[in-house]
Amino acid sequence: MRPAMMSRSDLEALAKLLAPLVAAHIAAALSGPGGYSTRKGFGIPGYCDKESKRIVRSIGVKRGRWWFASREQVEAYEAKQHQVEAVAVTEEPMTFEKAAARAGLRLGGR
């Protein structure tokens, strides 16, 4: 049995319906990934390849062959890594003896 032939007007109507979908797929393909991955050339800017891959593997998800992490995930990771703990200011300066005592060591003993 032969498939039914579509008329020219049916084909044009179908093309008008599919045009926005095709345009969206082309735009998505041209814009590239929305984040970073372990794929060569898609690493996090400012990091060497090895470190970028380590970070993406630790915070991202695996899809197929590569790991992927969104820009938001990487920004949150960097913000967490750069937090600095407040240090209490004391009136007395730190000495070797005090530092050793905090670490549980004895200085000058025999």
pLDDT tens column, 22-46: 888 887 766 655 789 998 888 999 9
> Is residue 49's pLDDT more than 90?
yes
> Do residues 47 and 12 lie in contact, with contact meaning Cβ atoms separated by under 8 Å?
no
> Is residue 110's pLDDT more than 60?
no
CA distance 41 to 46: 13
How confident is the model at residue 5, as a pLDDT? Answer: 84
For 96, the token pair is 């070797």
How confident is the model at residue 50, as a pLDDT? Answer: 94
Which residues lie across from 67 on neighbouring strands? 62
What percent of the chain is modeled with pLDDT above 70? 85
How confident is the model at residue 3, as a pLDDT? Answer: 65
Mean pLDDT of 6-34: 83
> Is residue 53's pLDDT more than 90?
yes
Q: Where does the pLDDT of residue 12 fall: very low under 50, low under 70, confident under 90, or very high at 90 and above? A: very high
Q: What would the DSSP string read from start to end of 22-59?
A: HHHHHHHHHH--SEEESSTT-S-TTS-HHHHHHHHHHH
Burial label for 59, CB within 10 Å (0-12, 13-18, 19+), is middle
